[in-house]
Amino acid sequence: MRLASALKQLLTEHLYAVDVAHDGETGLDLALTGSYDALVLDIMLPRLDGLAIVKEVRRAGIDVPILLLTAKDTVDDRVTGLDAGADDYLVKPFANKELLARLRALTRRTGSLAGTEVMEVGPFSLDLAQRTVSKRGEPLTLTMKEFQLLELLLRNHGKVLSKEVILDRVWGPDAAVVGNAVENYVHFLRRKIDDPGRPSFIETVRGVGYVLRVPDETQAKP
């Protein structure tokens, strides 16, 4: 628990969007249903260990970079982790700078979004380092929460996200006290990103949540 909280704080300070699972079953569910640039897994987890998660993720055909954390430092342990499908292996205790460097190396190697500074989806361009966003080259002024919500929706464009998932990933521990935050911020975001007179980029799926649709703007117009 303490390690997970410390890692979340570290990665958030370095502008990563972070989801935390405190047991293996929850972690596997997130890994199989979410869209991530990298997974950081402790081998020793309750309910399902990190090695089992790696195997299930690879069995599902997901090639996200995986960094394993463990207290074990024998050659056999490292080989077991890498043979299970992990990309790298870090022994505890470790220096924060080394973990960050290994993540950067993994995401650069695979071309993941976290290894770049700019994410481009449809008409939107998000500078993840500067926390700025533009649409068709025109800058948009968003609050931090609006930016985080747009980033989450764009990373999962075409996928319906429940209000509970949005609350957890954007508001985290504050989710229980923010009331109708999702509805309110979707409203705020629509006002800032939508094209006048055209359907909203963010579609409401009644009784479920929201999905962001990104039209193909590369097709030639007649």
Give per-residue pLDDT as tens, 59-78.
988 888 899 988 877 777 77
Decide if 130 contacts 119 (C-beta within 8 A): no
Nearest by Cα to 168 from 3, 33, 15: 33
When pLDDT is cut at 50, 70 and 90, the band that residue 133 belongs to is very high
The 3 state secondary structure assigned to the chain is CHHHHHHHHHHHHCCCCCCCCCCHHHHHHHHHHCCCCCEEEECCCCCCCHHHHHHHHHHCCCCCCEEEEECCCCHHHHHHHHHHCCCEEEECCCCHHHHHHHHHHHHHHHCCHHHCCEEEECCEEEECCCCEEEECCEEECCCHHHHHHHHHHHHCCCCCEEHHHHHHHHHHHHHHHCCCHHHHHHHHHHHHHCCCCCCCCEEEECCCEEEECCCCCCCCCC
- The domains of the chain are located at 2-115, 145-212
| 190 against 37, higher pLDDT | 190
CATH numeric code, 145-212: 1.10.10.10
Please check the confidence at residue 112 and state whether its pLDDT lies above 60: no
Better-scored residue on pLDDT, 174 or 35: 35
Using alpha carbons only, what angle is made at residue 53 by residues 161 and 63, rounded to the nearest 5 degrees? 70
Please name which of 148, 158, 160, 152 lies closest in space to residue 207, comparing C-alpha atoms. Answer: 160
- The answer to whether 9 and 20 have CB atoms below 8 angstroms apart is no
Indicate yes or no: pTM above 0.75. Answer: no
Q: Examine domains 2-115 and 145-212 and report if their fold is the same.
A: no
* Residue 181 structure tokens: 């935050």
Q: Which of 72-76, 77-81, 120-124, 158-162 has the lowest mean pLDDT?
A: 72-76
> Would you say residue 178 has pLDDT above 70?
no
Which class in CATH covers the domain with range 2-115? Answer: alpha beta
**b/e map 74-85, b = 16+ CB within 10 Å:** eeebbebbeebb
% the chain with pLDDT above 90: 30
- 């990190």: which residue's tokens? 50
List the 124-127 sheet strands across, edge first: 118-121, 124-127, 132-135, 138-140
Report how far apart the first and last C-alpha atoms of the chain are (Å, whole number). Answer: 57
